[in-house]
Amino acid sequence: MTVTERIQANVRHLAETIGPRPPGSRAEGTGAQFVASQFAAAGLSPCVKEFATASHAATESTLERLGTGATLPCLPSQFSVAGQVTGPLVFLGGNGKPRQDVPLGGAIGLLVPSGGIEGRIRLLERLQDEGLAGLVAISPYMDDELTKNIRYPEITGFPVLAVSWRVGNQLAQAAGERFRLTVKHEAGATNTSQNVVAEITGTGPNWLAVSAHNDTAPFAPGALDNGGGTALLIELARELAGCTPAASIRLVSTGCEEYGRRDGVGAGAQAYCDAHADELDRCVGWIEIDDVGNILGDLTVYAAGRKPFLDLVRQIPAPDHARLPGKASCGCDHGAAEQRGLPYVWFTDSAGIPRPYYHAPSDTAEFLDPAKVAGYLPYVSAVVRAIADGAQPLAVEQEDNRVLRQAVFADLDAIYEIVRLAFGPVSFDKMREDYFGDEIGGRPWHGHKAGGVVASIRANIYQCMVTEIDGRIVGFATFLLDPGRGIATIGNNAVHPDFQGRGIGSAQQREVDRRMHEEGYTRFQVTTLINDIPAQRMYERLGYERITQNINYLRQE
């Protein structure tokens, strides 16, 4: 068989023979075993690593309009609890601004989901508390059910269904009538999923992860999301099996990516990183393949990290029409890498185009071009080899019990506390609160200052470093890059008051300076308050020249 024929056969086996493979389900386990068999056929030695997670067990549902005998097309939402409820249908509107004027006790709600994960969960928890009996979520697709609009296993107070946009409109016109909603489960849910891992051993101690998730949304065959990516990962196994890279290449077919938890990051990738936490200092990066082969799409290569890593990616000639836009939002498998400060590459060709099949029963093989996926193989393989042979782990500067390293998301709470303790005398947010005599917008000054700092770091984790002493975070520093102007800006630099006066802030600024030069910048700027004399002295020692001063005015009537 040719590469194209194998890709087509593997996608059809996953999407049609096995079918939908929702997170934590028995079908997902069957898909994982299939991937393991293909890794073995490529000459590798795969292992299946289980991890605890929520299981989708709902297999069927009905929505009956009482008094008429009519049933409407519907599917259970991801992780819906089982149950049968009867009650009046109430239209809740959208969760961006849900209606407050409808009685919820014993009712079946009809909702147009929108907004972010946390907002949805807060609304669902309120609906639980107010006694809602069941929920029907309206999909954005005219004739398909999006079963991941409501996907939270922590919602256990009522069963949840998904209906199409067309059916949702019919239901909205039947508000006030009584309906019976039923969700049934298969027996034997284990609350486990699994990652399938096969390693191409390198000559050195470092390693590179290359992942594609093998699960799907409930009732979605998953030809595109992510049968194409899984098939390409299998071909990479065949392509790379005989090579000897500098860094070991770990092929990881992740499970439970469609869970996404509260942060949108795949549970399988999170589990893999957690299981190998003591090895992350030797990880040179993470490569993700997700949703490739779209007939109408063009290859998009998202990449984030430091310049030496990105240069390795950019040096490989990309296919015609490919886009390299930079960083993606933090989610999917690559989000697990970003949260840990690891560089990543994400190959997809679903960006920027409508996807009316996404997470729906219409995600079938007719919309996937196996020849296109096969055409990506040489490029993806070249990027994998370049990173495995050329990338280095993130440097860690250590002196006695003091460590200066790349920041990770797990540091953010400690950074917030350092801002609260260290910035009071030199924060305009604190001065403004003192001037007006009370909290601004109902939040203390550090809620504004530290909240903004943490949000900026979350969006630019690769431009933040922390100092820890005996495992405790005691300082941090940030910088920002403006490629349009060609100017790098020193951001925040702070040390916990208990550890000030030990040269930590100066060491952090030296590392910031090194990093900005590493990124190729030769023009730098920094701004500080006029009363922050220690910061001014430090920046002047680093060669910065004072140019001008700003004056801030406040007025209260």
Q: Cα separation of 433 and 85, whole Å?
A: 52
pLDDT in tens, 23-42: 999 999 999 999 999 999 99
SS3 per residue for 444-481: CHHHHHHHHHHHHHHHCHHHEEEEEECCEEEEEEEEEE
Q: Is the peptide bond before 550 cis (omega within 30 degrees of 0)?
A: no
CATH 3.40.630.30 placement within the chain:
397-541
Sheet (strand 344-348) strand order: 47-52, 192-200, 248-254, 207-213, 283-289, 344-348, 300-304, 323-326
Instruction: For strands 402-406 and 464-469, give the pairing.
Output: antiparallel
Q: Name the architecture of domain 3-55+193-390.
A: 3-Layer(aba) Sandwich (3.40)
What are the start and end residues of each CATH 3.40.630.10 domain in the chain? 3-55+193-390
Residue 98 has a pLDDT of: 67
Which runs of consecutive H residues, i.e. helices, occur in 130-227? 165-172
Q: Can you give the pLDDT at residue 314? A: 96
- The conformation of residue 140, written as its DSSP 8-state character, comes to S
What is the chain's pLDDT, residue by residue, as a tens digit (557 residues)?
A: 999 999 999 999 999 999 999 999 999 999 999 999 999 999 999 999 999 999 999 999 999 999 998 999 999 999 999 999 999 999 998 766 667 778 899 999 999 998 888 888 989 999 999 999 999 999 999 999 999 999 999 999 999 999 999 999 999 999 999 999 999 999 888 899 999 999 999 999 999 999 999 999 999 999 999 999 999 999 999 999 999 999 999 999 999 999 988 899 999 999 999 999 999 999 999 999 999 999 999 999 999 999 999 999 999 999 988 999 989 999 999 999 999 999 999 999 988 888 999 999 999 999 999 999 999 999 999 999 999 999 999 888 888 899 999 999 999 999 999 999 999 888 899 999 999 999 999 999 999 999 999 999 999 999 999 999 999 999 999 999 999 999 999 999 999 999 999 999 999 999 999 999 999 999 999 998 888 888 898 899 889 999 998 888 999 99
- Cα→Cα distances 554→199, 424, 435, Å: 62, 18, 8
Cα separation, 485 vs 134, in Å, equals: 54
Query: Which of the listed CATH numbers 3.40.50.2000, 3.30.70.360, 3.50.30.30, 3.10.105.10 matches domain 58-185?
Result: 3.50.30.30
Give the model confidence (pLDDT) of 55-108 as tens digits. Answer: 999 999 999 999 998 999 999 999 999 999 999 999 998 766 667 778 899 999
Q: Where in the chain do CATH 3.50.30.30 domains reside?
A: 58-185
Q: Of 381, 389, 391, 379, nearest to 344 (Cα)?
A: 391
Strands of the sheet containing 397-399, edge to edge, are: 397-399, 402-406, 464-469, 472-482, 487-495, 524-525
Does residue 228 come out as left (phi exceeding 0), alpha (psi in the -120 to 50 range) or beta?
alpha
Q: What's the rounded Cα separation, in Å, for the pair 408 and 226?
A: 28
Q: How far is CA 14 from the centre of its chain?
A: 24
Please state, in angstroms and rounded to a whole number, the distance separating the CA atoms of residues 194 and 509: 43
Tell the residue number behind the tokens 């349009």, with chain if given. Answer: 484
Cβ of 428: how many Cβ atoms within 10 Å?
14
CA atoms of 90 and 97, how far apart (whole Å): 15
Domain over 397-541 is classified CATH 3.40.630.30: yes
Report whether 18 contacts 34 (CB < 8 A).
yes
Task: List Cβ neighbours of 463 (8 Å cut-off, separation of 6 or more).
Answer: 478, 479, 480, 481, 491, 515
